[in-house]
Structure 1
């Protein structure tokens, strides 16, 4: 992967960034996404925020290499603190970290947001926790996508401001839009997860001192998945 050729999942994230957006990419991982979108003429301005020095310096080098210093601001900052009012950001992307970490970033830095931004996430696990935070903080899930890359399943979640969105426990678990669409990728993922959960429950039956709340949670998930797969 480089600034010319993104990974499949970053390409799908890029597809959800509106044309002409002013993008803040938080945890920018060497600046691949904002630099690629700027080189393609897709966005107007970008902030690449990074908390770690190595990817921060790498993103700076990429921006300089392509002469994009005026269009892409690379900032060493903790989460959403990379965003300044003068940036007039209208789209935020956060990719490649756990959903729980994304929730922490959003909770800690929500005062840096105007509340009107389009939020695009590609979590590595913790999708249910992320959806729950969005629901509880005045966002509705506008789009979701599921793809498989290098033997891993990845979900993309796009949220926009919209009070009054209430999702059921099952919708938070599967994703309301994914559950509605039931794509082949979605069904294939949950067939795999069902096998794993059933194997785990079988192990629980022969194990000692299994936490009862965990066993109940897995049993409930197996029931939900079985119903969805029909």
Structure 2
């Protein structure tokens, strides 16, 4: 039974950040594949699969029933964290496969449901910085990150734990903070080939945007200054790769 549920490498990596015996909510669960996968491999895990639309909700219920996991995976219909009631003892939240802005909105609108949540695992498809900034503001610290490539796309996974006794390396300056929000504090310290590939691509895109902005009749000087600063940060990180070759 376990071997019949095939999970993408992206979601397998997401699942690796859930502790043994997790009780987690997967928001926007996409057929409940992730909750079922985790519960098939860990008999002590439990999950809530949240879906906002009727079609995916019914598909998720069918998956859970097919794997005979109805006693451990509950499928709920609702918008974002609305699927969690006030007494739910959820300890981890997974939100994967959405834009960073939407993930931030889901977390912001559902803040009242996070009082017992110790870990948030987010996998934004774009705008990772938005997610990191919200987590920092709301008292979570990034304790792990990963960047993977699958089917021609690069994905970042952000793992954040509620502030406790963890050792947090505070950025020395506002600029250092902004750099860590952009690149990811853990990814910056553990640069991989995929990290460099991503930022080589982002460098070209941003350079192109700046070039187009300079040709415009009305130049937004604040935005131009910010983009040029970010371009210089990316250039610095790419130079690190050249020096290590």
**TM-score with structure 1 setting the length:** 0.92
Shift of 1:42: 5.5
Structure 1 residues 82-101: aligned runs within 5 Å: 82-101=83-102
2:170 paired with 1:169? no
What SS does the aligned partner of 1:23 have?
A: strand
Label 1:142 to 1:182 Cα distance change in 2 as closer, same or farther (>3 A).
same
Indicate the RMSD between aligned Cα atoms, in angstroms.
2.0
2:205 paired with 1:196? yes
Shift of 1:81: 1.6
Structure 1 residues 1-230: aligned runs within 5 Å: 4-41=5-42, 43-162=44-163, 166-167=170-171, 168-230=177-239
Contact conserved, 2:39 with 2:46, CA < 8 A, in 1? Answer: yes
In structure 2, runs of 5+ residues without a counterpart are 172-176, 240-245
**TM-score with structure 2 setting the length:** 0.87
Shift of 1:210: 4.3
Greater Cα offset, 205-214 or 144-153: 205-214
Query: Equivalents in 2 of 1:205, 1:108: separation in Å?
Result: 38
In structure 1, runs of 5+ residues without a counterpart are none
Shift of 1:171: 0.6
Shift of 1:161: 0.6
Label 1:211 to 1:151 Cα distance change in 2 as closer, same or farther (>3 A).
farther
Aligned residues: 229
Query: Equivalents in 1 of 2:12, 2:141: separation in Å?
Result: 23
Query: Equivalents in 2 of 1:208, 1:166: separation in Å?
Result: 41
